[in-house]
């Protein structure tokens, strides 16, 4: 979901302009951890403009050698559904790290030349800048900044305090994390709830802010909060009446609790172990065993039930999870057709997998109870699984919660 670059000269970075931006208050303090976790393990898609801009900053005597190994993926050579033409700057190391990662974990290009030389995707990650209208480069169009929960530094900011989670509005030049990103923004004229119910940004604003307020003030447990949000969203999706959306306590949550249990247990342990093996490059605060890690992960993912009852359920970090849900429900998701949809079902899927991963990691590391490092790593791994697999899975392959008629409020 990286922002689309504007077309222009190969060596030009768009001139920074003040834009009105909206972002979570906690993310105004976001800083990269400089550990190269997002600079390895996957093929990074660049544009021709990206490579041209990078080349223009490299000294002439370095240029040919430093840019050797460019692969152009054209319309005729696309090999994945939904893929678009792009340029790959192939890694040169066996571990798949970007060739510009230094021994410290920092970026050589950023250190030597600053953000003006970086590809747009590298400037943005883990931020998805979305213009609230079809003409993203118009200065008057506000920009929303969404922060991807795969990034451990994003999770650190969510876990920084127990304060209510809230959004703030400001000018891009006054917010360090926003300034370089507003020029790499994508516009989305079409917005919907769950990909089916058309919505305006104003309607979605009201819906998201009411959910955030519920995350901050709901008197019940994290499960009661999630159930009440899900009943309200299920009703909105079936009725199409977004203006009437409210999160209210329901009398009987048994239907949702059954659904959540099925969702937690929905995935094959071996698939979850493979996913965590890939995600582990983002994990720095949990010491993982070295020997037979995949086999051990497969085992603990299969045996999560008792660990959850004894080590997770009674010790859940309620404040972190409330802030996580507030962050996640504010985010918008882009479909292949470049439409924005608020995919509420995916939030429950990721949350459920995070719970199972907490139980698995407590077993793996012999924790007697879940702690913040385990909880953060579990949320990140669940979000990574969602990005890697759930988006590509047929909708019917996972359980969905759309009650025909929620129970009456208590």
Q: Which pLDDT score, from 0 to 100, does residue 341 have?
A: 64
Predicted TM-score of the model (pTM): 0.88
pLDDT tens across 144-155, in order? 999 999 999 999
Report the percentage of the chain scoring pLDDT > 70. 84
Q: Could you tell me the pLDDT band of residue 191, with boundaries at 50, 70 and 90? A: confident
Q: Peptide bond before 209: cis, by omega within 30 degrees of 0?
A: no
Q: Which pLDDT score, from 0 to 100, does residue 194 have?
A: 73
d(CA 99, CA 92): 6
Compute how many other C-beta atoms are within 10 angstroms of the C-beta atom of residue 355.
25
d(CA 84, CA 365): 41
d(CA 106, CA 121): 16
pLDDT tens across 357-408, in order? 999 999 999 999 999 999 999 999 999 998 777 556 665 666 667 776 655 6
Strand 143-147 to 20-24 pairing? parallel
Proportion of the chain in helix, strand, coil states, percent, rounded to 5: 45, 10, 45
Compute how many other C-beta atoms are within 10 angstroms of the C-beta atom of residue 119.
23
Say which residues have a Cβ less than 8 Å from residue 30's Cβ, sequence separation at least 6.
Answer: 147, 153, 154, 157, 177
Q: Could you tell me the pLDDT band of residue 192, with boundaries at 50, 70 and 90? A: confident
Any idea where the domains of the chain sit in the sequence? 20-187, 191-397
d(CA 151, CA 284): 11
Closest CA to 360 of 265, 261, 235: 265
- Contact (CB, 8 A) for 155 and 380: yes
Name the H helices within 218-317.
222-239, 254-264, 269-279, 293-302, 304-307
């Amino acid at each position: 979901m990286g922002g689309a670059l504007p077309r222009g000269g190969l060596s030009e970075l768009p001139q920074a302009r003040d834009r009105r931006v909206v972002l979570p208050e906690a993310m105004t303090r976001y800083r990269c951890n400089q550990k190269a976790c997002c600079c390895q393990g996957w093929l990074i898609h660049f544009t021709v403009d990206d490579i041209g801009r990078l080349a223009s900053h490299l000294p002439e005597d370095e240029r040919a050698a430093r840019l050797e190994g460019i692969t152009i993926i054209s319309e005729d050579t696309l090999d994945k559904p939904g893929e678009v033409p792009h340029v790959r700057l192939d890694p040169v190391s066996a571990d798949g790290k970007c060739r510009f990662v230094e021994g410290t974990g920092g970026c050589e290009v950023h250190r030597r030349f600053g953000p003006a030389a970086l590809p747009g995707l590298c400037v943005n990650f883990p931020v998805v800048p979305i213009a609230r209208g079809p003409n993203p480069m118009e200065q008057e169009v506000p920009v929303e900044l969404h922060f991807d929960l795969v990034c451990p530094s994003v999770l650190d900011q969510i876990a920084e305090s127990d304060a209510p989670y809230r959004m703030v509005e400001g000018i891009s030049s006054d917010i360090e994390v926003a300034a370089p990103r507003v020029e790499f923004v994508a516009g989305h004229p079409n917005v919907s709830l769950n990909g089916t119910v058309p919505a305006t940004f104003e309607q979605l604003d009201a819906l998201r802010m009411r959910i955030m307020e519920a995350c901050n003030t709901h008197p019940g447990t994290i499960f009661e909060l999630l159930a009440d949000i899900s009943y309200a969203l299920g009703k909105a999706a079936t009725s199409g009446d977004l203006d009437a959306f409210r999160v209210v306590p329901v009398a009987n949550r048994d239907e949702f609790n059954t659904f959540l249990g099925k969702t937690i247990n929905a995935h094959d342990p071996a698939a979850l172990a493979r996913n965590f093996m890939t995600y582990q490059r983002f994990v720095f605060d949990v010491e993982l065993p070295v020997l037979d890690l995949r086999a051990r992960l497969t085992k603990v993912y299969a045996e999560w039930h008792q660990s959850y009852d004894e080590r997770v359920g009674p010790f859940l970090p309620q404040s972190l999870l409330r802030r996580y849900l507030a962050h996640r429900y504010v985010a918008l998701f882009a479909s292949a057709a470049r439409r924005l949809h608020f995919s509420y079902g995916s939030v429950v899927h990721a949350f459920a997998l995070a719970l199972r991963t907490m139980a698995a990691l407590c077993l793996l590391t012999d924790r007697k109870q879940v702690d913040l490092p385990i909880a953060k790593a579990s949320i990140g791994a669940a979000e990574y699984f969602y990005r890697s697999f759930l988006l590509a899975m047929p909708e019917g392959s996972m359980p969905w919660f759309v009650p025909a008629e929620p129970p009456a409020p208590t």
